[in-house]
Amino acid sequence: MAGPVPFLDLKATYRELGPALEEAFRRVMVSGHYIMGPELAAFEEEFARYCGVDHCVGTGNGLDAIALILRAMGIGPGDEVIVPSNTFIATWLAVSQVGAVPVPIPPDQFHNLDPDRVESAVTPRTRAIIAVHLYGQTARMSELRSIAERHHLRLIEDAAQAHGATCNGQRAGSLGDAAAFSFYPGKNLGAYGDGGAVTTGDANLARQVRRLGNYGSDRKYEHVERGVNSRLDELQAALLRVRLGSLDDWTARRRVVAARYLSGLKNLPLSLPATAPECEPVWHLFVIESESRDALAAHLQSEQIQTLVHYPIPAALQGAYSEFRQHPVASGQVAERHRRLLSLPIGPHLPPEAVDRVIAGVREHFRR
Ligand SMILES: *Cc1c(COP(=O)(O)O)cnc(C)c1O
């Protein structure tokens, strides 16, 4: 394959599903119903069923989904919430938004919350654990569940990168007390704008989240608490219903890409992503670790292959969290490992020839 290899081809989803997406668009346009109508109700039911839970509540985005879960659980000022050190900043921001304090834990070999290091971080103020299923692989949820039960903590999933991933055969979204999803366009199940959802088996929690995200109201113009406006609109819900129908197929294609990388990149001085035995990842990202990360990225760029780093600056080193500058996760081995991360192109529409070009580019870098 000649020409550039983009990190992710977002337009490809429209090329593949155009007519069905346009039909959904037209259905909403002519209905005159644009907020909290039948498309949202149908999507919520379909996505809850997909995740294997009874309840789904659409939200405006993934960050709000996490914050609404925390608020609905009554977590706020004075509380601590255990979070991974390496995650998209939204996980931390949601904790800060409700007035609680994030307590970061370094990742395990799978880039996820390390159950072996969680327990020693629990204090009398700890209220919850947010397990992020980073890069599309669930955290080791059975171990985290035992820790949560032992210390009476709530277990929340940040499943923004893991639509359809499983742990012991159960899908992300059904592995904790509640889960937050994002439908940001680049996610495995993406909308055409912002969107998010909360899934849970807890009817009461679902009701609270729905109320908080709808101005604190169950009935129009009656406001029992000071909520926010964070809803998934009809248009995005209708488009997401179309995309949901292809999710498993697209996940299967991501797995083909990942398998090709895993066999093509063997025996090189780099670390390939490891999969925990109980997990079936959905490969939101394919992240390798290399001592020569920057040189490798530059070489691939010279071959017109786009790579990214997730995430270039860890939350603890961001200006927004300057109080964490001296925290152990901001330096030493944790920070060093962070500087080795590199995400290779992956997606359901990445052709095998492009994957082979990436593999050849990486091998070439290490030959020189
Ligand atoms: C994308 C993402 C979010 C935030 O989702 P938005 O819809 O962009 O607000 C939260 N957590 C993780 C891990 C993410 O990747």
Using one digit for the tens of pLDDT, what is the confidence trace for 158-189?
A: 999 999 999 999 999 999 999 999 999 999 99
* Beta-bridge partner residues of 51: none
For residue range 183-226, what is the model confidence (pLDDT) as tens digits? Answer: 999 999 999 999 999 999 999 999 999 999 999 999 999 999 99
pLDDT of residue 1: 59
Residues of the chain with pLDDT > 70, as a percent, come to 100
pLDDT of residue 133: 98
Alpha carbons 348 and 82: distance in angstroms, whole number:
33
Whether 285 is in the pocket of ligand 1, judged by its Cβ within 6 Å, is: no
Whether 61 is in the pocket of ligand 1, judged by its Cβ within 6 Å, is: yes
Whether 58 is in the pocket of ligand 1, judged by its Cβ within 6 Å, is: no
Whether 157 is in the pocket of ligand 1, judged by its Cβ within 6 Å, is: no
Q: Which atom of ligand 1 is nearest to the CA of 133?
A: 13
Q: DSSP alpha helices (H): ranges in the chain?
A: 12-31, 38-51, 62-72, 90-97, 115-118, 141-150, 203-212, 234-244, 247-264, 293-302, 332-338, 352-367
Smallest CA separation from ligand 1 atom 10, residue: 90
Alpha carbons 363 and 368: distance in angstroms, whole number:
9
pTM, two decimal places = 0.98
Please give the backbone phi and psi of residue 230, each rounded to the nearest 5 degrees, phi first.
Answer: -145, 90
| Mean pLDDT calculated for residue range 349-355 | 97
Whether 280 is in the pocket of ligand 1, judged by its Cβ within 6 Å, is: no
Alpha carbons 146 and 243: distance in angstroms, whole number:
35
Smallest CA separation from ligand 1 atom 4, residue: 62
The answer to whether the beta carbons of residues 345 and 8 sit under 8 Å apart is yes
Cα 332 from chain centroid (whole Å): 26
For residue range 104-143, what is the model confidence (pLDDT) as tens digits? Answer: 999 999 999 999 999 999 999 999 999 999 999 999 999 9
Whether 182 is in the pocket of ligand 1, judged by its Cβ within 6 Å, is: yes
pLDDT of residue 278: 96
216: region left, alpha or beta (phi > 0 left; psi from -120 to 50 alpha): left
The answer to whether the beta carbons of residues 57 and 210 sit under 8 Å apart is yes
**From ligand 1's centre to the CA of 120, what distance in Å?**
27
